[in-house]
Structures are given as structure tokens and as C-alpha cells.
Amino acid sequence: MGFLRDCTIIFMTSQRKQFPFPEFESRWQARWLEEGAFRCPNPGDPDFEASKPKYYVLDMFPYPSGDGLHVGHVEGYTATDIIARSKRMQGFNVLHPMGWDAFGLPAEQYAIRTGRHPRETTNRNIANFRSQLQSLGFSYDWSREISTTHPEYFRWTQWIFLQLYNSWYNPDSRKAEPISTYTGSDPDSVRLAYVAEVPVNWCPELGTVLENEEVVDGKSEVGGFAVERRPLRQWMLRITAYSDRLLEGLSALDWPEGVKLLQRNWIGRSEGASVRFQVSNSEFEIEVFTTRPDTLFGATYMVLSPEHPLVAKITTSQQSEEVLNYQKKVSSKSDLERTELSKEKTGVFTGACAVNPANGEKVPVWIADYVLLSYGTGAIMAVPAHDERDFEFAKAFGLPIREVVRKDPAYTGGTPVPPDVPQATCFSGEGVAVNSGFLDGMSTGEAKGAMIGFLEEQGCGLKTVTTKLRDWLFSRQRYWGEPFPIIWEEGRHRPLAEHELPVIQPEMVDFKPTGTSEPPLAKAIEWVAYSETARRETNTMPQWAGSCWYYLRFCDSRLETRFVGEEAEKYWMSSEGLGGVDLYVGGTEHAVLHLLYARFWHKVLFDLGHVSSPEPFRKLVNQGMILGPDGQKMSKSRGNVVTPEHVISEYGADSLRLYEMFMGPLEQMKPWSMKGVEGVYRFLARVWRLAMKENQEGQWEISPDLCDEAPTASQLRVLHATIKKVTDDFEAMAFNTAIAQLMVGTNEFVNASPRPVESLRILLPLLSPLAPHLCEELWGILGTTFAGFEGHASKAPWPTHDPGILEVEEIELIIQINGKLKDKLRVGKSLAENEVLALAMALPKIQEAVSGKTIHKTILVPGKLVNLVVK
């Protein structure tokens, strides 16, 4: 038994591959690394070629996790590598870098469990990721490799934080300016980086603050303990100052419309009015925001968020017990419960009333958890007839519902409408104002303007714009992140000087949470003590920080004197129009946060004159997810993970790359299939055998079928059609159809004998960005015998097609009757229209089809078709 099984294993593993990729792939990879084959010089470097245009193609750099890469992760990297390689061949200076977004929770959690420093885990994972990527033959300029965890990198992350800290957004110039230009009394109140008390996720059981990612369904991911919100002093970034510019900037970007929409919705700009309601018998006012000031006459009650500070002040003594109970109930609900129970509206009356400024009516003030403290003013005027949520609430608590907007656009006012009738439905659209005093008869648009005018005149309201976007909570209670370059002294913060950077985390052995809301760095007593009176900030920055500007560092990643060299930044980041990275490829999971944060930082740096383009990423492409062979998302727990190592050992890196691109459109989600890999593997073997033949001894030698004679006219036409199709498809990133055409081009020559070597002079450079190892190898071998294979396939000039060769003398027209195909007709290219028509009419099938019928119309699309409309 044992013997048999061993034999089988030996047989399987030593099975001869269809072409010797195991040998040549690793050989070329080693050589590319040794020679620094894809190092790309900067302006000022001795080998820099200023005459070439530039192209900056960027991947979203990975978080080097302990699990390593699976085949889904490398799809985007393969696509950018093909673009990088083909652009290089087309004469561009190509910047194609790779690095590591290596701060993050898993390394810290591992450190807490084992006591090993997170740096160890991180470095080990980086080494693994690097070798995985190198085993795919990606043409990165490894001399520019960066890690966000490296002090020489994060000193500049800290430096950029200081730029934010030391500047403010001037609403008049609509840009960031040095804080010294601020003339107000309290500069700390306008800095782009500021301190505020905001709620964080606090888990009493674990004695630690948790990241949002560590909280699942209101419970800690580890242990499943309850998590509550607790206010804590935090660093914030004033991204809301940029909401208009972040919104406006989107339209010019060559990004998927879906991503732009996500960002627009995330920013959530809405125009309306803020309205102040006087609370009856008190000095308090309730300010609300509404997008529908035209419905103010229909506001029959008000709602405050349960957490609203006014609640305690206005609640009457009779109602206070009920209000306190409700507040308690709400605060113990997790976010999930609060949204899950959204169908059932709850709330209590405060006992207070407010005055509707439009009609002077007294309306009751309620509290309810369907009003959120974090949006608008945390209070609303409720118009139940024209807002679904208010409608449901009013029905539940028997509050009056007054119609103030008529759906019927023909209604022009005049007809009396009975007020305060309970209605079956709620109308939230636009129409004509009714029951609304001076607004009656106006369209919703007119009424909005008229009401805002009235409110501003009365001094109890203003035209206002609100956004959903909140300021960015920028501090984390973690060890493994960038420390802040900030010192606290006598309760006040101040920045460190530039020469004091980088601020490096102290060496620690105990990474456990402190058990209080203090970050772990607080335990490093000596490090914290900056001087006798001053202490260091102990929070660290979130993982987003490093990824907000890494694309800039890649332009000049070894520079020690500046975050990026001015000349290098200008060269790589500017181009006609917007400028920025020419192509950025990554997953949709970063559609909002990373891309919005990076745009924000970039705009600040732009305002302060540190970068030359207003936007960081000119063109963005999202690759689709690759699913497991079972059509499910790849995951360890499902056991459907396919690793690059597995595919490479069986079929080679070129097959893996080619299959990833052949599966379907890049942006689309698609399932993995090993049978599909075999298909492209067979194709690569056919390309190999185009050039090579196995002799009696089992050695590969140049095929005796190859000859240096000219291809036939039809072979030449296929070759040039392939050049055109592959060139166009690469430009459109339609790699699957480019590969299909390369298969057509190859199949044309598979059985040709003699076989013109010109086929390989053209096909190998076209295939080289997709399957670089194979092409490099064959190019080298053919160069020993044939002319035209000088140098390397990866540096070969990109073939250009001759339109003359693609022109044909005869074209095939399709002949339709009433738009349906009936026959085909071959005619001379330049035959006159009437002659074409005459020939078409003469076809027996057409004769038959039109006999006894009248031809009403004739459509003739030159070079394409004839369509006869008959009856």
C-alpha cells in the first residue's frame, strides 16, 4: 500500500510540464531583482530620460496580514502590472511602486497575546508578502518600497499632522492657511487638527477602548462583551471644512460613477433652513434644520433627540420621571437595536411647548430616538403630513396631521382645505402650498424661498446648508500606530518642532490595555515625561493616516530632507488638467473612507503649497472580487481559499496572471475555476511550441518549422488585427478580450509549416505584459538564431499596426428585410450605393421575400448593411 501511494506521489509531482516554466520563471524573477530591471529614475538622476512622457500607475498598497495573499488579492496588481509593462514598452517613464500599510490591529493583538513586539510580526508578514508578489513577476520598482511603520516614513506622517495642526480653513479664501493668518482670539478653535470630547467605544469588561472594527452588533468582537459609548478627549481633523470642495472636486475625476455617488452621499450635503422656535414660558429656543421650510405651517409638534442638552432644561416636573426613564432606556440600546426597532416609533412628551414662528401656534415638544443628536441640530420640527417618520410618530401618539402641500400641480389655491384631518397616507413630494397663509398657491420651490425670506426678516431663521459628513476622529488608544508630535503642558497642547521628528513609540514589553481609558503608551512613564512639566500625547493615529499620503512618498521615497522632493512631486503628480496619479486600482471597500481622507489631506497640502495638483487620483478603477470555486467569498472558514503558490507550482506565474485577466471584465465579480487556469496554460504551451519543439532526447530546441520568410497576406492581416485589438483593449483595460485576440493570433500559426518567425516578433511583445516570463525566455532563445529579437521582450518596442494591411478589397454586407437578417452579399469596397442596392435586390432570397409586397423604405449603412422595409 505504502509503496503504491509513494509511487503515485512521485509520478504526480515529477510529471513533466508542457513547457519548462518552473525553471525559467524563477530564473527571470531573480534576474529582474538583481539587475533592478524596473528601477525608474527620477528627474535629476543620471539615467533619467526627460524626453519621455510619464505615467504613474498605483495599487492600493496592502495590509500585510499573517494569512498571506490569495488569488483574489493579486487581480488588481496583475492589471496594473500589465499597464505598467505596456506603457514602458510604449515609451513612457513609468512609476510603479509597492509598499506596506503595516500599522494595525492584528499585529498589536498578537503582541498582547504573546508579548512579542508588533514590529517582529509586521516584518515577518512584509517579507512573506514581498516574496509572494515577487513570485508573480510584478515589475515594481522595489528600490522605492516603503512601510508606514518605518520611522523614516512616519516622521513625515507626523510632519503632515503638524501642517494640519498649524493651519486653519479660511472661509473667505476657501482654503487652508497658516494659523498665523487667523486674527480671532482663540486659534485652537479653528485649527484643522483640534481636541474635543467625543464618545468612544468603551468596553468595561475588557477595560479598553475599542475600534469600530472591533465592535460587532454592539458587542466586543473578542469575548462578546457589552460596549458603551463614553466621552473621551480626542484629536479631530476638521474635514467638514472641506466638504464643499471635496464634493465639487468629484465631477472632474475619471472615477466610477458609483464611487463618486458614494462619496456624494457620504458627504450628504443638503440645503434648507435653520429655524428657531421659542420655548413657551422660558428663555430657551430650539433650533431645527429642515430641507422643507415650505412646510413650516404644517409643523404640529417638535422632537428633540433624547441626548439633546435642552431636554433637561425644558422638561416639566410632571413629565421628568417619564423622560428620564426613556433617556435611560435609549442609552442602553445598542446602535443595532436602535435601528432594528426602527419600525416602531417610541418617544415621550416633555411637557413643554414651543411657538411655531410661522403662525404663532403652540406645539408640543417631544423626545424620541428617531431624532439623532449627530445630525443637523439634534432637533426637528415635525411635519407629519409630509414626512414618513413624523407621520408614523404622529399616528402612534395621536398628534395632529395637517396637510400643507397638495400633490395636484393644477391646484392654485383658493379652495378651502379642511385642516388637521387624519390622513391615510403621507405625501413627501413637491407640489403646491395649501393651509399655509402667505405661501398658499406657491409651488414647493417658490414657497421654500418665500419662507426663508420671511424667517430671515423675522430674525428667527436662516438659509442653511448641512452635511452628513462629521469631523474625523483621528486618535486611537493603541500602541502600534504613529504617535502624535504633541506635548501637553499646564493643560494645553503644543506642537513639537520639526527637528524633533520622528516621535518613535517607546520600546515596551507589555502591550496590554491599561484597564482605564488611558492608551497603552501612558504606561511608558519615562517616554511620556517630555520634561519636568510637559508630557507627551499618548494617543496614536488611526491606520488611515499612513495611507493618506503614501502615493506622494513613492515619488521620492528615500529623501531625508522633505516628505517628497519638489521636483519629483511635480514630475510624477502633475500632468495636463487635474494631475495626480494617472491610474489607481483597488477594491470598492475603500470607495469612501480612504479615498475621501486622502483627498482631504491632499487638498490641505495643495492649499499650503506643498503639492502641485488639486486632486491625488485622476483615474480610479475598482477591480471586482474573485470568489472561490463554489461561488462564495473566499475565506479560511469556508475552506475555499486558492493561494497563488498552489497555482504557480502547478501552472506557473504566467498562467496565473493570464487567467486572472481572462476570467472576465476587471470590475466584475467572478468565481475561480481551475479548469479555466488549465485553458490559459494550454494556450501558453501553444505559444511555447510556436517557437520550440521537443527533440528525441526530450530537450526543447528551436522549432525547425520556424523560418524567416514573410507571412502570407491573411497571416499578416491577423497579426495586425491583433496589434490593434490588443493595443486598444489594454488602453480600455479590457484584458479578457485582448487575450482572446492573442489566442486567435496564435492559433493562426499553430499548424503553419513553414512558420514565419515574424509572428513571434509581433505576438511576443504583445503578450509580454501578460506573460512576461515566457516571452522573455522565448525572446532570448530566438535571439540566438533570428534577427529582430535584440535585448529583452519587456523592453521591446510596442508593435504598431499598419491600417493599410487591415483594409480589405471586398466587404460583406448583411441584407435585412424589416430589420431581420435574410442574406449576405460580398461587394467591392467602393461600389456605389445604387449598385449595392441593385445587387441586393437581385438576390434570390430577397426577390422571394419582397415579391408581391411594397418596399416602403430602404436603409443603407455604407460598409455595413442594407435594410428593406416592406409591407
Partner RNA sequence: CGGCUCGUGGUGGAAUGGCAGACACAGAAGACUUAAAAUCUUCUGGGGGAAACCCCGUGCGGGUUCGAGUCCCGCCGAGCCGACCA
What residues from 137 to 196 belong to the interface with RNA (CB under 7 A)? Answer: none
Q: Does 292 bind RNA (CB under 7 A)?
A: yes
| Nearer CB in complex with RNA: 224/819 | 819
Interaction residues for RNA, span 294-323 (CB under 7 A): 305
Least CB distance to RNA at residue 33 (A): 32
| Nearer CB in complex with RNA: 587/780 | 587
Contact 476, 540 (CB under 8 A): yes
Closest alpha carbon to 170 in 153, 183, 158: 183
Closest alpha carbon to 552 in 540, 562, 542: 562
Least CB distance to RNA at residue 826 (A): 10
| Nearer CB in complex with RNA: 208/867 | 867
Interaction residues for RNA, span 539-568 (CB under 7 A): none
Q: Among the candidate windows 175-183, 225-233, 454-462, 679-687, which touches RNA by CB under 7 A? A: 679-687
- Cβ contacts of 220-224, under 8 Å, gap ≥ 24: none
| Nearer CB in complex with RNA: 292/602 | 292
Question: How many angstroms separate the CA atoms of 340 and 408, rounded?
Answer: 35
Least CB distance to RNA at residue 63 (A): 17
Least CB distance to RNA at residue 354 (A): 15
CA distances from 573 to 95, 251, 278, 576, 579 (A): 10, 19, 54, 10, 6
Question: How many angstroms separate the CA atoms of 190 and 612, rounded?
Answer: 25
| Nearer CB in complex with RNA: 323/564 | 323
Q: Among the candidate windows 212-220, 532-540, 545-553, 821-829, which touches RNA by CB under 7 A? A: 821-829
Any idea what DSSP says for residue 868? E
| Nearer CB in complex with RNA: 387/615 | 387
Least CB distance to RNA at residue 259 (A): 9
HSE (CB half, 13 Å, CA atoms) of 583?
24
Least CB distance to RNA at residue 261 (A): 6
Burial class (CB within 10 angstroms; exposed 0-12, middle 13-18, buried 19+) of 804:
exposed
Interaction residues for RNA, span 733-792 (CB under 7 A): 734, 736-737, 739-740, 743-744, 747, 750-751
* Number of amino acids touching RNA (CB under 7 A): 79
Q: Does 717 bind RNA (CB under 7 A)?
A: no
Contact 807, 52 (CB under 8 A): no
| Amino acid letter, 436 | S
| Nearer CB in complex with RNA: 118/431 | 431
Which residues make Cβ contacts (< 8 Å) with residue 179, sequence separation at least 6?
166, 167, 168, 187, 190, 191
DSSP symbols for 476-488: BS-SSSPBPSEEE
Least CB distance to RNA at residue 335 (A): 8
Least CB distance to RNA at residue 858 (A): 9
| Nearer CB in complex with RNA: 318/637 | 637
Q: Does 680 bind RNA (CB under 7 A)?
A: yes
Q: Does 816 bind RNA (CB under 7 A)?
A: yes
Least CB distance to RNA at residue 819 (A): 3
| Nearer CB in complex with RNA: 251/561 | 251
| Nearer CB in complex with RNA: 388/708 | 388
| Amino acid letter, 692 | M
Q: Does 336 bind RNA (CB under 7 A)?
A: no
| Nearer CB in complex with RNA: 370/597 | 370
Identify the sign of the CA torsion 495, 497, 501, 506. Answer: negative
Q: Which of 331, 673, 800, 847 binds RNA (CB under 7 A)?
A: 673
| Nearer CB in complex with RNA: 506/679 | 679
Grid coordinates of 322: 417619564
CA distances from 409 to 428, 434, 459 (A): 14, 12, 32
- Helices and strands in the chain, H and E counts: 28, 36
Any idea what DSSP says for residue 404? -
Q: Among the candidate windows 159-167, 338-346, 448-456, 538-546, which touches RNA by CB under 7 A? A: 338-346
Q: Which of 65, 291, 575, 643 binds RNA (CB under 7 A)?
A: 291
Q: Does 109 bind RNA (CB under 7 A)?
A: no
Interaction residues for RNA, span 344-403 (CB under 7 A): 345, 369-373, 375-378, 380, 387, 389
- Cβ contacts of 239-244, under 8 Å, gap ≥ 24: 239/469, 239/471, 239/472, 239/596, 239/597, 239/600, 240/467, 240/469, 240/470, 240/471, 241/169, 241/171, 241/192, 242/169, 242/600, 242/603, 242/604, 243/267, 243/269, 243/467, 243/469, 244/174, 244/269
Cβ-based neighbour number of residue 461 at 10 Å = 25
What does DSSP say about strands 534-536 and 486-489: parallel, antiparallel, or unpaired?
antiparallel
Question: How many angstroms separate the CA atoms of 373 and 308, rounded?
Answer: 6
| Nearer CB in complex with RNA: 168/662 | 662
Binding letters toward RNA, positions 834-853, x by CB under 7 A: -----------x--------
| Nearer CB in complex with RNA: 536/755 | 755
Q: Among the candidate windows 115-123, 405-413, 731-739, 772-780, which touches RNA by CB under 7 A? A: 731-739
Binding letters toward RNA, positions 237-276, x by CB under 7 A: --------------------xx--xx--x--x-x-x----
Least CB distance to RNA at residue 291 (A): 4
Any idea what DSSP says for residue 791? S
Q: Which of 494, 824, 829, 853 binds RNA (CB under 7 A)?
A: 824
Q: Does 82 bind RNA (CB under 7 A)?
A: no
Interaction residues for RNA, span 6-45 (CB under 7 A): 18
Q: Among the candidate windows 123-131, 214-222, 400-408, 816-824, which touches RNA by CB under 7 A? A: 816-824
Q: Which of 679, 780, 783, 788 binds RNA (CB under 7 A)?
A: 679
Contact 59, 80 (CB under 8 A): yes
Q: Which of 181, 282, 753, 818 binds RNA (CB under 7 A)?
A: 818
Helix %, strand %, coil % for the chain, to 5? 40, 20, 40
Cβ-based neighbour number of residue 683 at 10 Å = 21
Contact 655, 22 (CB under 8 A): no
Question: How many angstroms separate the CA atoms of 98 and 138, rounded?
Answer: 10
Least CB distance to RNA at residue 320 (A): 23
Least CB distance to RNA at residue 451 (A): 12
Sheet harboring 810-817: ordered strands across? 820-828, 810-817, 865-870, 855-861
Q: Which of 58, 82, 136, 685 binds RNA (CB under 7 A)?
A: 685
Least CB distance to RNA at residue 333 (A): 9
Least CB distance to RNA at residue 58 (A): 23
Which residues make Cβ contacts (< 8 Å) with residue 198, sequence separation at least 6?
231, 232, 234, 236, 473
| Nearer CB in complex with RNA: 41/258 | 258
Q: Which of 367, 663, 762, 770 binds RNA (CB under 7 A)?
A: 663
Q: Which of 819, 829, 842, 862 binds RNA (CB under 7 A)?
A: 819
| Nearer CB in complex with RNA: 85/292 | 292
Interaction residues for RNA, span 581-640 (CB under 7 A): 588, 633
Contact 205, 223 (CB under 8 A): yes
| Nearer CB in complex with RNA: 86/274 | 274
Identify the sign of the CA torsion 390, 395, 400, 405. Answer: positive
Interaction residues for RNA, span 471-510 (CB under 7 A): none
Cβ-based neighbour number of residue 841 at 10 Å = 15
Grid coordinates of 291: 430641507
